């Protein structure tokens, strides 16, 4: 596996986003299947595993910790704080809460270390910026965790270039994570340039467009009732039907390049810069190996241009998030 720099670490050019195993896209897979995917990724040379306190309200960190604790020296471990499940009403039912207060971040870290069965988290992201708390205060708390030896480096997720610069002035930011793919180009507005200016690695989640760019989801009516894509405008039936038409040209290009649609999408990202690290997620070992094969796909400048012209912010129908989701992030958006 090719390697790329992420803060003080050298990691596989393609990491593994672990969320899918426990969260967001319907019923979680069995612990046994989750274990198969994690160990297959490790055996295939993946050295960046990305989880969060939110995923499965701790279940994903518990899974990653149990399965990978005996291999801890072989990979870079990333997790996230600032968004987690909280029993707000005292009825035992956890709800998602964004909370960037320093005391909360310190407690979340302790909880994550316990679930992950490790003494230190290599890369600890602020999952969402709590806009009621100055970013300087939240990052200051994470800097305290670095000094205490609880975490090795700090990351940010779904923030703007301006917020990144404010945070970086408090403590060096190792990585910024946000959605980036052929059909989500928002990082190209400003934050990708800011990362390069400051020497911050860019970690791209949802590199295959939450499954869209794999070409296998042809009917959104088949999505699990609890699948978060049901609330995303691009996956609304009418919008999705229009977006599916964009894949025809991509299929022709994939055939021309001798690769799968998913490999084409991830390879496009890898070619956008040596500082970009995609972290596709999957519940399938077969899909995992297909995703990782993207590292071997070489795309010429003309092919990159053709692909980029097919799917971009001008051709995709629908916004990335609904109104609530948009209000919770701090990323730049294209003008309507």
User: What whole-number distance in Å separates Cα of residue 15 and Cα of residue 327?
Assistant: 28
Which element (helix H / strand E) includes 49?
strand 48-50
For residues 324, 262, 248, 183, the Cα torsion angle rounded to the nearest 10 degrees is 30
Residue pair 80/157 in contact by the 8 Å Cβ criterion: yes
Active site residues: 55
Residue pair 53/79 in contact (Cβ under 8 Å)? The answer is: yes
Q: At which residue do the structure tokens 């990323």 appear?
A: 331
Give burial (CB, 10 Å; 0-12/13-18/19+) of 123.
buried
Closest to 56 (Cα-Cα) out of 24, 100, 82: 24
Q: Report the DSSP pairing between strands 76-81 and 121-126.
A: parallel
Q: Which residue has the tokens 């198969």?
A: 36
**Residue position matching structure tokens 């990691």:** 11
Rg (CA), the chain: 19
H or E element, residue 193: helix 191-198
Three-state DSSP at 310 gives: helix
CA distance 92 to 148: 32
């Amino acid at each position: 596996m090719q390697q790329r720099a992420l803060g003080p670490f050298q990691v596989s050019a393609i990491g593994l986003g672990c969320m899918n195993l426990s969260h967001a896209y319907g019923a979680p897979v069995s612990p046994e299947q989750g274990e198969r995917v994690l160990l297959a990724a490790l055996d295939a040379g993946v050295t960046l595993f990305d989880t969060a306190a939110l995923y499965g309200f701790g279940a994903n960190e518990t899974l990653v910790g149990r399965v990978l604790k005996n291999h801890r020296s072989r990979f870079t471990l990333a997790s996230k704080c600032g968004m987690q499940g909280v029993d707000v009403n005292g009825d035992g039912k956890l709800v998602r809460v964004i909370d960037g207060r320093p005391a909360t971040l310190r407690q979340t870290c302790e909880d994550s270390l316990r679930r992950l069965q490790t003494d230190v988290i290599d890369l600890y992201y602020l999952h969402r910026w709590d806009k009621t708390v100055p970013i300087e205060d939240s990052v200051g708390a994470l800097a305290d965790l670095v000094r205490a030896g609880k975490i090795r480096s700090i990351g940010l997720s779904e923030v703007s270039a301006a917020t990144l610069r404010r945070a970086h002035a408090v403590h060096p930011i190792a990585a910024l994570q946000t959605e980036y793919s052929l059909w989500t180009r928002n990082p190209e507005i400003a934050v990708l340039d800011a990362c390069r200016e400051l020497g911050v690695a860019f970690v791209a989640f949802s590199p295959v467009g939450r499954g869209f760019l794999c070409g296998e989801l042809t009917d959104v009516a088949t999505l699990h009732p609890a699948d978060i894509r049901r609330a995303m405008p691009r996956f609304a039936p009418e919008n999705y039907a229009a977006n599916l038409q964009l894949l025809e040209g991509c299929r022709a290009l994939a055939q021309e390049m001798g690769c799968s649609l998913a490999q084409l999408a991830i390879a496009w990202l890898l070619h956008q810069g040596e500082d970009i690290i995609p972290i596709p997620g999957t519940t399938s070992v077969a899909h995992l190996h297909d995703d990782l094969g993207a590292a071997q796909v070489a795309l010429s400048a003309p092919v990159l241009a053709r692909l980029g012209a097919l799917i971009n912010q001008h051709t995709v129908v629908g916004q990335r998030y609904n109104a609530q989701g948009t209000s919770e992030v701090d990323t730049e958006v294209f003008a309507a």
